[in-house]
Structure 1
Amino acid sequence: MRARFPDFRLGNVLATSFTGTLSERHGNAVERIPTPHRLVDWLAVNGLAVDSSTTAQLALARELRESIHAAATAAAIQDPLPATAVQVINDRSSQGRAAAVLTSDGERRWLLSSASCVEDALSVIAADAISILAGERDGKLALCASPTCQAAFFDTSQSRTRKWCDMNTCGNRQKKARFHANQSTSAK
């Protein structure tokens, strides 16, 4: 029987979705890729399928995740990007050999150099982070308004005023808390 892991939080932006594999960073942290096999699962869901992952590759993935999170957080609050985070992102980006290919449906897919090359998948994630951090994409980095989450996310809403990394989790939780607080106040 397989162990039950927390569900992935999937978004439309690869790099910030990857940082969401560790959620509730300022509360009871939830690690969504606790094992190498779970990293394989996350990569597959995001179009970067690999056959397997090692403990060392999981460590590289987590280092990249934390570097993207640190850089995205700094960018969201308009602080200088941390040099160590930038170095890790650049290293991961340059060490892969993934290629973008066009499908007959007109969609971009990633072709990894081999089915066991987690490093190629990490290079795609790092390159996505670079495009966001460099301001090449239409949107802005923001931090989740949930005090226990504060995840960095890429806001592509028309007004660029989104408050939550995910409305179905953080936003819903905050709205419920406000509702219950208002109910308690009304009952007094």
Structure 2
Amino acid sequence: MRTDIPDFRIGSVLATSFTATLTERQGTAVERIPAPHRLIDWLALNGLVVDSCTCAQLDLARELREAIHAAATAAAMGGALPAAAVRVINDCSAQGRAAAILTPDGERRWRLSSASRLEDALGVIAADAISIIAGERDGRLALCASPSCRAAFFDTSQSRTRRWCDMNTCGNRQKKARFNANRRNGSSSPE
């Protein structure tokens, strides 16, 4: 793997993991799908294998990503969903022709209408976004407490009080900053 391309942040919820292909939205944004092949890679990691992706399809994927982020952010804040975002999500969902299939291991997988049909994969992501934004799944939408991130994420913790989109990045970064600030101010206790 090339070192100049940032790693993906893979979560347990497809739609919000997809929005995490653009991170640090309130700081110096990090684009994790800068080229069509990276979108193919992300989809494959999430069980949505496609053979090809054009630049126009990448643009459509990014449009869906931003629509999901806008709608999830509005839902997390208890606001009205942006009409343009709802339209994009609904259009992508309607254009997809994927089918849920049950594996012999009892897991759900997606069968796309053809291996090269990226629109089917986007339809699966849009349908997942609809299910979490509509409140059909057990959990709650929240926004990352990191001031440079503010990513929308789906909190399925038992207490529904998770603060960070990803504890290994945003959470650790904020805890380290607080620790260093306390040390500078002499507030830390000696061991």
The bucket for the TM-score relative to the shorter chain is over 0.9
Structure 1 residues 150 and 2: CA distance shift in structure 2, 3 A: closer
The DSSP-based 3-state class of the residue aligned with 2:142 is strand
1:4 positional shift: 3.0
Taking structure 1 as the reference length, the TM-score comes to 0.98
Q: What is the rounded CA distance, in whole Å, between the counterparts of 2:147 and 2:139 in structure 1?
A: 23
The DSSP-based 3-state class of the residue aligned with 1:181 is helix
1:42 positional shift: 0.2
TM alignment of 1:73-92, pairs within 5 A: 73-92=73-92
Aligned-partner residue type, residue 103 of structure 1: T
Counterpart residue number, 2:158: 158
Q: Deviations over 1:155-188 (max 9, x none)?
A: 000110000000000000000000000110118x
- Residues 54-63 or 178-187, more deviating: 178-187
Q: What is the rounded CA distance, in whole Å, between the counterparts of 2:110 and 2:78 in structure 1?
A: 31
Q: What is the rounded CA distance, in whole Å, between the counterparts of 1:63 and 1:123 in structure 2?
A: 13
Counterpart residue number, 1:147: 147
- Residues 2-11 or 67-76, more deviating: 2-11
Q: What is the rounded CA distance, in whole Å, between the counterparts of 1:71 and 1:134 in structure 2?
A: 10
Q: What is the rounded CA distance, in whole Å, between the counterparts of 2:179 and 2:122 in structure 1?
A: 41
After TM superposition, the runs of 4+ consecutive aligned structure 1 residues lying more than 2 A away are: 1-4
The DSSP-based 3-state class of the residue aligned with 1:176 is helix
In the alignment, structure 2 segments of 5+ residues that lack a partner are none
Q: What is the rounded CA distance, in whole Å, between the counterparts of 2:133 and 2:175 in structure 1?
A: 30
Instruction: Report the number of matched residues.
Output: 188
Q: What is the rounded CA distance, in whole Å, between the counterparts of 2:182 and 2:12 in structure 1?
A: 33
Q: Deviations over 1:72-120 (max 9, x none)?
A: 0000000000000000000000001000000000000000011111100
1:2 positional shift: 5.2
1:52 positional shift: 1.3
Aligned-partner residue type, residue 93 of structure 2: S
Aligned-partner residue type, residue 111 of structure 1: R
In the alignment, structure 1 segments of 5+ residues that lack a partner are none
Counterpart residue number, 2:53: 53
Taking structure 2 as the reference length, the TM-score comes to 0.96
Q: What is the rounded CA distance, in whole Å, between the counterparts of 1:49 and 1:4 in structure 2?
A: 24
